[in-house]
Structure 1
């Protein structure tokens, strides 16, 4: 096995670019600023609206790459207990997530009374708040409290599924299973990728389950093992075969993006020349954005919602001012994401912290609903 790092500035640069794309996709998707500014750049707005969401596939592939690096870099489980690994992941995800949703609930309540636009979430219900706090909103048919939070639930499902696969292989009895645990686990991952890309990902009604997205996530795992392997030919062949067959069966742009992302990661991270480029100082802001991309992803909708409400309400007929408002919303989203990253995400969370913020989310939502009823 090579000594290639599991995490590099190049990975963070990729996440930073994907984060920028997602924020601008939501700025184009959720008006009214984008509706008013659209005549200034109709083609760009249309591209962001229709294709900006494809950046999620980049996050899925990178997520699988990092999961393989942390859970099973050699193909066998490196964690001691599946339950502990899953619980730690839940807590790390849910603390900044709950903080961001509290902010979104408050901002939505502030703008709901004076801005009539479909992008403003409705008043939350108790069942909706509980479902969102537990990452179950799509599974139980409740609306999300913020844009993009479905991804957090899917990430948790994918991570948990991966943990259970490796823990299950490790629990198999017999000396043969123990000797071949790495190959068995990797074989199951490859089979899961094939099942997802060739079957489950073609059923739109399954898009709230991990199996729908496991193809892209698993391609990221294969990319990690290709980077780590002395020779990458076998893993590259598997990635191309799995992705190429999926596109031949049913061409999907999201699968093409995931396939290209996985292949680019392998070629880039196996290239000493490319890896060295990512360390240049001029890329530092993009690397930093990648490191805090989760926090930016979580908090940007609340910031964009407030900017949309203010600018769209005060200047409803000025495309130029609304375009500037979109730019301002983007900059403020990065600032808010940095605050959330430094103050919340970087700190090691605990179950008590998670429960406190989940209770705060539910309580804030109920207070908003009660205050509206009293008004």
Structure 2
């Protein structure tokens, strides 16, 4: 999800679709606008509420795919030092993350003064602020400051685990290990993904740890290797076997989404871009449809490029719009439905601002520390003002 990932239009389109789905899932999940607008489209609201969250599996698969592309495209570690790779990832994730959480803490404090609703977070504590700043909130039992930020912590764990596996294989002594390190690393990734799909992902108590999600992430890694391989049959067979066995053991819709996403990535990325119709051989309506699809794809790709920033900041935007619309028009289903559309549009605009101003710039440790300190300081001021009030 980081800004420096190698770009592919298809990957960005997939990320854009997943990002839009997550925003709408949260719009349906967190009221009051969705509660008021629900009679207008009850089936759609129920679908977004129950199944929209499965788009996270798409991000997990794509995250593994991009990790393999940048860290070990041939199965062998391409980075120089594991600690440096992990540190760079932490800083790149944390800077826009901390900026977005500062916004969320301030918006929550503002909204809390006039809207009493379960979706509004409580005033933060010092322990909660520090845990969120360090991506440790779920591991130490603290509440998240914003919706969906658990994924950032899990993404960092998955990336770090992958780096450590590849670095450990590279460090194995002896000529045999050095000669077979690509096969060893790939075998460990396959084994880890299978263990996650067949065992760890079936243990709900592990849902704050990388092992719970490594099945989907590992499928993404395998998908990249399948795309790069001269023949993809063995990789595809391994993905089908692992995913199929996992679903036979315990059918989980989220795992089915991950398997389908990984297989589709292999199919489409190996085929490459679809060739355009020869000039003058397509009907006029076909040309117009092609242009429309290209424009839609370009817009989705732009959303995909800034998907991390949109993911981070959309909850604050949705919370603010919920408070205003739900307070001024508490009974109008039509106005609240329009409010949901407004919240979606403003979320994209805020995400673009965060992407352009923060995410796409190369951060430093000093920048990360300043924003982490700013998050803790802002949260403490909010908590103190809440106590005084």
Q: Shorter-chain TM-score: which interval? A: over 0.9
In the other structure, the counterpart of 2:85 is 85
| Runs of 5+ consecutive residues of structure 1 not aligned to the other structure | none
Task: For 1:28-47, list aligned pairs within 5 A.
Answer: 28-47=28-47
In the other structure, the counterpart of 2:230 is 230
In the other structure, the counterpart of 1:23 is 23
In the other structure, the counterpart of 2:260 is 260
CA distance in 2, matches of 1:7, 1:176: 36
Deviation of 1:59 (Å)? 0.1
1:292 to 296, 299, 306: 306
Residue 310 of structure 1 pairs with residue 327 of structure 2:
no
SS in 1 for 2:172: coil
CA distance in 2, matches of 1:333, 1:88: 27
Conserved in 2, the CA contact under 8 Å of 1:107 and 1:302? yes
CA distance in 2, matches of 1:351, 1:129: 19
In the other structure, the counterpart of 2:136 is 136
CA distance in 2, matches of 1:86, 1:275: 39
Deviation of 1:372 (Å)? 1.6
In the other structure, the counterpart of 1:208 is 208
Task: For 1:58-137, list aligned pairs within 5 A.
Answer: 58-137=58-137
Mean CA deviation greater in 265-274 or 85-94: 265-274
CA distance in 1, matches of 2:157, 2:190: 18
CA distance in 2, matches of 1:355, 1:346: 18
Conserved in 2, the CA contact under 8 Å of 1:7 and 1:66? no
CA distance in 2, matches of 1:275, 1:370: 61
Deviation of 1:373 (Å)? 1.7
Cα shift readout 1:140-171 (whole Å, capped 9, x = no counterpart): 00000000000000000000000000000001
CA distance in 2, matches of 1:24, 1:274: 30
CA distance in 2, matches of 1:334, 1:370: 32
Residue 341 of structure 1 pairs with residue 359 of structure 2:
no
Task: For 1:163-202, list aligned pairs within 5 A.
Answer: 163-202=163-202
Count of aligned pairs between the two proteins: 371
In the other structure, the counterpart of 1:369 is 383
CA distance in 2, matches of 1:326, 1:209: 33
CA RMSD of aligned residues (A): 1.4
Deviation of 1:113 (Å)? 1.5
CA distance in 2, matches of 1:190, 1:372: 50
SS in 2 for 1:270: helix
Judged with a 3 Å threshold, the aligned counterparts in structure 2 of structure 1 residues 181 and 53 are, in CA distance, closer, same or farther, namely same
In the other structure, the counterpart of 1:353 is 367
CA distance in 1, matches of 2:272, 2:40: 42
Conserved in 2, the CA contact under 8 Å of 1:269 and 1:275? no
CA distance in 2, matches of 1:6, 1:317: 47
Conserved in 2, the CA contact under 8 Å of 1:10 and 1:275? no
CA distance in 1, matches of 2:238, 2:64: 16
Deviation of 1:7 (Å)? 3.9
Deviation of 1:80 (Å)? 0.4
CA distance in 1, matches of 2:268, 2:46: 31
- What TM-score comes out, normalization by structure 2 length? 0.94
In the other structure, the counterpart of 1:147 is 147
Deviation of 1:275 (Å)? 8.1
Conserved in 2, the CA contact under 8 Å of 1:6 and 1:224? no
In the other structure, the counterpart of 1:331 is 345
In the other structure, the counterpart of 2:281 is none
Deviation of 1:284 (Å)? 1.1
